[in-house]
Amino acid sequence: MRRKVMAYNDDKKKLFYDFFQTFKENYFPCFPEPFKSKIPVSARYTLMCLYSYMNHQGEAFPSMRTLSKITGYTLKTVHASIDILEQKGIISIKKHHRYNCYLIKDFSPSLLAFIWIPKDIFDYYISPLAKITLCSLVWLKPAGDEIIIKTTKELAEFMNLSSKTVRKALEELYYKDYISFYSAGRIKFPKLLWKF
């Protein structure tokens, strides 16, 4: 029985690292070393919002005001975030009728199955950092409603943030009941508004 449990845990560990590698290759596909590039939380959250509007060609058409309203950022912050994403080569911008068209670079339709962001998450009363962390956790969730994370450091490495920053986000998610820790390193999602 013990051998079976060990094999099960090894499978989970392999699954985690497979997801980790896929995420590294796909989340910012234009970077050879995506996690070495420092992108502020505001730019990541704006990108997350663009992903939620994306069609199957990798195009998103929200106005700056829409992005500002959804993210809760000022227009100035949204502009700055879009500029960062464009400078880093993650998106390109072209004029399209009344609003800009944001193109996610090196986009592959298969990414939609992996990097899927429900619009519901923008209605959650949690900080942008907590939302990014929640989405990252859900992407790492292999099946069922739990995920095994060994350490905060492991998750911080996955997200390219400091352990302290990720710990703060996890605490917020925990206190607002979006996640629960029911044993060491095991996280459940009791309040998700969407299903896979």
Nearest one of 136, 133, 121, 137 to 71, comparing CA atoms? 121
In a domain, 113, yes or no: no
Q: Write the CATH number for 92.
A: 1.10.10.10
In a domain, 20, yes or no: no
Q: 11 φ, ψ to 5°?
A: -60, -45
Distances (CA, A) of 15 to 91, 117, 141: 29, 21, 9
- Domain end: 104, 129, 145, which one? 104
Question: Which tokens in the block code for residue 123?
Answer: 């209605």
Q: pLDDT band at residue 77, thresholds of 50, 70 and 90?
A: very high
The answer to whether residues 170 and 126 belong to one domain is yes
DSSP string, 19-54: HHHHHHHHSSTT-SSGGGS---HHHHHHHHHHHHH-
In a domain, 19, yes or no: no
- The mean of the pLDDT values for the chain is 69
Domain that holds residue 50: 41-104
Question: Does residue 122 surpass a pLDDT of 60?
Answer: yes
Taking the CA atoms of 127, 166, 149 and 44 in sequence, report the sign of the dihedral they define.
Answer: positive
Q: What is the pLDDT of residues 85-108, one digit of tens each?
A: 888 777 888 776 666 776 766 555
Residue 115 in contact with residue 139, Cβ under 8 Å? yes
In a domain, 164, yes or no: yes
- Domain end: 104, 127, 154, which one? 104
Amino acid, res. 66:
T
In a domain, 75, yes or no: yes
Residue 147 in contact with residue 140, Cβ under 8 Å? yes
Structural domains of the chain, count: 2
The answer to whether residues 123 and 179 belong to one domain is yes
